[in-house]
């Protein structure tokens, strides 16, 4: 019997998740609940399954739930799933607000219901391999870790050009701006590699009145003594998304840059106009190595085998705490201590 | 429920066997029943590592009710083990090159056909996502008429039996001709019709006693010409083992593929060098999954013994061309 998955919140990230679920063997998209019923209906039309009239109706009918609501609307469905004993995926950040994260961590510990926070960067093969290199001891003890995750503003012509995307991401009260939406990927990755963070200092554009543009340069200090730097950007020119990582240890260094030459490079001339020259590059992987597919497959495997998913509610909470600390640092111009 | 697929491994002489065994462990419903190796130390070591039994006698392993075997012996020993397994398993995956002589390769294909055993040759590069994207581009005809394919399959000098003429059948040209030639035959459903080759004997490794450099210039039956550099030209200080690169030039464009370019750069004081650590998809896993699926689905192999034989023939023709100092036509005379 295929495992029946329910989707709560059929918005932008859900489109990617639903596509990956639909490709997975032994999984069935049972249906969708969204406060905007037309969004749930569009998902049902595209991927099959039903539209549920309520969150409760969905939870009654599924074996696992994937919560893709906005970061301000995670608390209610996550708590409901945990209380109902339905294993849940929740999109990052765990919540816009720390109090929600704490309530979720408490409920998860009390109910024991499996919860996976979808920090997908851990499942990007480059980043997963870098973590494996650190674990292998090849670079010794990590000392300075630097990562970059930069693109253009959502709705700013680069991506997510719908007005709804612009109004959500551009409203920093809801989205938490580039730090909580983008920088949190790197906060979680760096914490995964280097352990707990003691303090954070950040400068950026969050309070510069340039919405939806945002940009942050974040400095972290880890309990191990390691130092972290994160650039998170919604202020690059459109079409220039870039990620980069380097981890320097006392025995070596590991580096990767998305600007490295891609394995496939094509230069094609137009059939009718030979002066019409198009270049494209791509860096394909096997379907199961797609990071979104890999994270969801990991969740299913972990639940089936009774193991804890790799990113815990506590990991999700700490990433939010550090991100909110970075925002607070930007506001106050002071370093912010992070309490475990 | 289908019953688990029972696989045996015949020899770990070829280092790819380690990767294939690790892939078997990653596939659900597959059991690595045992390992035969004529080198007891190596066989026992791998059996311990992969949590399976060592067999000092191939027949004893073949008596375990296997669905398939993977042959990773020295090139010249593929025939004996393949003939031994044929008729006692449903399917055989044989490491490339199929053999060291056309007669051996033909005998393997014949025995497998007579016994109803499916024979697949291990050409994992067909499972590279970048190479598959190139094939899709070629199938779509986007480049128009194809002029040429400029290819490299560089490597590091592997040492051991790879430099023993009896066991390997040749050096760098034997080792590194067949992967890319297989890809080109697969891309276009074509054959190599003529080869000219410059072969370097111990050019990069003085005293090696065998060829360690080769440059093939070929023409395919579909009119495409090209070159393939097979050299073991990557020294120990180089950051990676080698490469598979193919540049296809057509009348409406150029596609470059570097199949192993997805890597991290790791500098480590423990090794004293900078190395590339790949993060791309595991092509061996694609190959082994395909082999297992062939058994489960009881279908024909995606890469046949004939594919292995045709690729071997090009390597042999390259040596013949170097001996004669002129282009050699294919197929070769028996």
Measured distance CA(B195)–CA(B217) in Å, rounded: 6
CB-CB under 8 Å, B266 with A139: yes
Beta bridge partners of B304: B120
Quick check: is B290 in a domain? no
Min Cα separation B188/chain A (Å): 19
Is A145's Cβ below 8 Å from some Cβ in B? no
Q: What is the tens place of the pLDDT at every residue in B315-328?
A: 999 999 999 999 99
Chain A contact probe: residue of B124, B264, B275, B287 with most A CBs at under 10 A: B264
CB-CB under 8 Å, A282 with B264: no
Which homologous superfamily is A122-283 in? Dihydrodipicolinate Reductase; domain 2 (3.30.360.10)
Min Cα separation A291/chain B (Å): 12
Residue A174: what pLDDT? 84
Nearest-5° angle of CA A271, CA A274, CA A277? 95
Residue B17 has pLDDT above 50, yes or no: yes
CB-CB under 8 Å, A133 with B270: no
Residue A161 has pLDDT above 70, yes or no: no
Partners of residue A140 in chain B, C-beta under 8 Å? 269
Does residue A51 have a cis bond before it (omega within 30 degrees)?
no
Burial class of residue A337, CB neighbours in 10 A (0-12, 13-18, 19+): exposed
Residue A140: what pLDDT? 98
Are B179 and B97 in the same domain? Answer: no
Are B233 and B105 in the same domain? Answer: no
User: Residue A272's closest chain B neighbor by CA?
Assistant: B252
CA B25 to chain centre: 21
CB-CB under 8 Å, A263 with B268: no
Partner residue opposite B129 with nearest CB, options A267, A270, A284: A284
Q: What percent of chain A has pLDDT over 90?
A: 87
Spatial CA neighbour of B257 closest among B162, B172, B322, B184:
B184
Residue A207: what pLDDT? 94
Q: pLDDT averaged over chain A?
A: 94
Measured distance CA(A296)–CA(B156) in Å, rounded: 38
Confidence class of residue A166 from pLDDT cuts 50, 70 and 90?
A: low
Nearest-5° angle of CA B123, CA B128, CA B130? 140
Are B175 and B322 in the same domain? Answer: yes
Partners of residue A256 in chain B, C-beta under 8 Å? 263-265, 279
Does an H or E element contain B43, and which? Answer: helix B40-49
Quick check: is B113 in a domain? yes
Q: Are strands A252-257 and B263-268 parallel, antiparallel or unpaired?
A: antiparallel
Residues 207-246 of A with CB under 8 A from B: none
Are B93 and B40 in the same domain? Answer: yes
Out of B122, B150, B174, a domain closes at B122
Are B142 and B108 in the same domain? Answer: no
Min Cα separation A192/chain B (Å): 18
Is A268's Cβ below 8 Å from some Cβ in B? yes
Contacting A with CB below 8 Å, chain B residues are 127, 129-130, 132-134, 137, 142-144, 252-271, 277-282, 285-286
Residue B333: what pLDDT? 80
Q: What is the mean pLDDT of residues B134-163?
A: 97
User: Residue B245's closest chain A neighbor by CA?
Assistant: A263
CB-CB under 8 Å, B129 with A286: yes
Residue B107 has pLDDT above 70, yes or no: yes
Residue A158: what pLDDT? 46
Residue A156: what pLDDT? 53
Residue whose structure tokens are 């994160």: A230
Q: What percent of chain B has pLDDT over 90?
A: 98
Q: What is the tens place of the pLDDT at every residue in A223-277?
A: 999 999 999 999 999 887 899 999 999 999 999 999 999 999 999 998 888 789 9
Residue A171: what pLDDT? 84
Helices B78-85, B102-115: inter-axial angle, 10-degree rounding: 10
User: Residue B268's closest chain A neighbor by CA?
Assistant: A252
Are B79 and B132 in the same domain? Answer: no
Residue A163: what pLDDT? 62
CB-CB under 8 Å, B268 with A252: yes
- Structural domain total, chain B: 2
Quick check: is B28 in a domain? yes
Residue A272: what pLDDT? 84
Are B9 and B101 in the same domain? Answer: yes
Are B186 and B320 in the same domain? Answer: yes
CB-CB under 8 Å, A253 with B267: yes
Out of B99, B122, B145, a domain closes at B122
Out of B105, B122, B139, a domain closes at B122
First to last CA, chain B: 48
Min Cα separation B37/chain A (Å): 30
Burial class of residue A216, CB neighbours in 10 A (0-12, 13-18, 19+): buried
Is A286's Cβ below 8 Å from some Cβ in B? yes
Measured distance CA(B193)–CA(B130) in Å, rounded: 27
CB-CB under 8 Å, A282 with B280: no
Beta bridge partners of B122: B95
Nearest-5° angle of CA A179, CA A15, CA B285? 95
Where in chain A are the domains? 122-283
Are B150 and B268 in the same domain? Answer: yes
Partner residue opposite B133 with nearest CB, options A137, A138, A282: A282
Q: pLDDT averaged over chain B?
A: 97
Please state the φ and ψ torsions of residue B103, each to the nearest 5 degrees. -60, -40
Min Cα separation A285/chain B (Å): 5
Min Cα separation B226/chain A (Å): 18
CB-CB under 8 Å, B257 with A263: yes
**In this structure, are residues B112 and B82 in contact, taking their beta carbons and an 8 Å threshold?**
yes
**In this structure, are residues A123 and A295 in contact, taking their beta carbons and an 8 Å threshold?**
yes
Residue B241 has pLDDT above 70, yes or no: yes
User: Residue B280's closest chain A neighbor by CA?
Assistant: A285
Q: What is the ipTM of this complex?
A: 0.93
Residue B235: what pLDDT? 97
Q: What is the tens place of the pLDDT at every residue in A32-52?
A: 999 999 999 999 999 999 999
First to last CA, chain A: 42
Min Cα separation B92/chain A (Å): 25
Dihedral angle sign, alpha carbons of residues A101, A103, A108, A109: positive
Alpha carbon distances (Å) from B233 to A166, A293, B155, B196, B230: 53, 38, 6, 20, 8
Partners of residue A267 in chain B, C-beta under 8 Å? 253-255
Buried b / exposed e over A158-184, threshold 16 CB at 10 Å, is: bbbeeeebbebbbebebbbbbbbbbbb
Measured distance CA(B127)–CA(A288) in Å, rounded: 13
Q: What is the mean pLDDT of residues B286-301?
A: 97
Q: What is the mean pLDDT of residues B3-22?
A: 97
Residue whose structure tokens are 């009119």: B223
Nearest-5° angle of CA A329, CA A331, CA A334? 40
Domain of B173 in residue numbering reads as 126-282+313-329
Does residue B34 have a cis bond before it (omega within 30 degrees)?
no
Min Cα separation B108/chain A (Å): 32
CB-CB under 8 Å, A285 with B280: yes
Are B214 and B256 in the same domain? Answer: yes
Domain CATH number, residue B255: 3.30.360.10
CA dihedral A56, A62, A63, A66 (to 10 degrees): -80
Are B83 and B232 in the same domain? Answer: no
Residue B159 has pLDDT above 60, yes or no: yes
Partner residue opposite A263 with nearest CB, options B130, B254, B277: B130
Measured distance CA(A335)–CA(A201) in Å, rounded: 5
């Amino acid at each position: 019997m295929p495992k029946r998955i329910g989707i709560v919140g059929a918005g932008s990230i859900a489109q990617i998740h639903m596509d990956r679920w639909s490709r997975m063997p032994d999984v069935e998209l049972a249906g969708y609940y969204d406060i905007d019923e037309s969004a749930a209906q569009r998902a049902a039309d595209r991927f099959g399954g039903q539209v549920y009239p309520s969150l409760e109706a969905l939870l009654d009918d599924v074996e696992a739930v994937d919560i893709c609501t906005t970061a301000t609307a995670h608390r209610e469905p996550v708590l409901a799933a945990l209380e109902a004993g339905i294993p849940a995926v929740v999109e990052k950040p765990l919540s816009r607000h720390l109090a929600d994260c704490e309530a979720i961590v408490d409920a998860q510990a009390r109910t024991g219901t499996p919860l996976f926070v979808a920090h997908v960067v851990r499942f990007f093969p480059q980043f997963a391999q870098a973590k494996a290199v650190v674990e292998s001891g090849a670079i010794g003890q990590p000392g300075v870790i630097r990562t970059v995750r930069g693109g253009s503003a959502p709705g700013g012509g680069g991506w997510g050009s719908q007005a709804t995307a612009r109004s959500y991401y551009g409203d920093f009260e809801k989205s938490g701006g580039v730090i909580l939406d983008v920088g949190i990927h790197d906060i979680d990755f760096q914490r995964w590699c280097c352990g707990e963070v003691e303090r954070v200092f950040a400068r950026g554009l969050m309070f510069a009145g340039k919405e939806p543009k945002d940009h942050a340069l974040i400095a972290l200090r880890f309990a191990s003594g390691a130092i972290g730097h994160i650039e998170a950007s919604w202020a690059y020119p459109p079409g220039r998304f870039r990620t980069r990582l380097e981890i320097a240890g006392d025995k070596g260094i590991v580096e990767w840059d998305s600007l490295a030459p891609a394995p496939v490079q094509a230069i094609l001339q137009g059939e009718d106009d030979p002066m019409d020259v198009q270049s494209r590059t791509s860096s394909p992987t096997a379907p199961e190595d797609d990071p979104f597919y890999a994270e969801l497959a990991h969740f299913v495997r972990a639940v089936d085998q009774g193991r804890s998913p790799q990113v815990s509610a506590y990991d999700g909470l700490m990433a939010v705490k550090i991100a909110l600390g970075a925002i607070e640092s930007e506001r106050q111009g002071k370093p912010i201590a992070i309490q475990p | 429920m289908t019953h688990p697929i029972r696989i045996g491994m015949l020899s770990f002489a070829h280092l790819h066997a380690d990767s294939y065994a690790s892939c078997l462990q990653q596939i659900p419903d597959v059991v690595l029943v045992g390992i035969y190796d004529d080198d007891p130390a190596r066989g026992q070591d791998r059996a311990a590592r992969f949590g399976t039994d060592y067999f000092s006698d191939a027949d004893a392993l073949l008596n375990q009710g296997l669905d398939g075997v993977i042959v990773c012996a020295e090139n010249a020993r593929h025939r004996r083990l393949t003939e031994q397994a044929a008729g006692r398993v449903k399917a055989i995956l044989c490491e490339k090159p199929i053999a060291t002589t056309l007669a051996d390769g033909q005998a393997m294909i014949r025995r497998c056909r007579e016994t109803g055993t499916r024979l697949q040759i291990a050409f994992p590069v067909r499972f590279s996502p970048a190479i598959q994207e190139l094939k899709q581009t070629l199938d779509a005809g986007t480049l128009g008429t194809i002029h040429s394919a400029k290819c490299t399959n560089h490597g590091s000098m592997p040492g051991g039996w790879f430099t023993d003429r009896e066991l390997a059948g040749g050096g760098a040209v034997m080792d590194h001709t067949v992967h890319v030639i297989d890809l080109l035959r697969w891309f276009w459903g074509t054959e190599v019709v003529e080869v000219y080759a410059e072969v370097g004997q111990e050019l990069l490794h003085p005293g090696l006693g065998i060829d360690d450099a080769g440059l093939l210039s070929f023409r395919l039956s579909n009119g495409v010409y090209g070159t393939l550099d097979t050299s073991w030209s990557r020294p120990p200080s180089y950051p990676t083992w080698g490469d598979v690169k193919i540049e296809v030039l057509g009348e409406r464009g150029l596609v470059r593929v570097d199949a192993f370019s997805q890597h991290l750069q790791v500098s480590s004081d423990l090794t004293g060098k900078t190395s590339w650590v790949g993060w791309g998809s595991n092509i061996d896993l694609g190959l082994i999954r395909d082999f297992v699926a062939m058994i489960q689905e009881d279908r024909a192999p995606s890469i046949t013994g004939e594919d292995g034989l045709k690729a071997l023939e090009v390597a042999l023709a390259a040596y013949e061309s170097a001996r004669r100092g002129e282009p050699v036509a294919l197929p070769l005379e028996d």
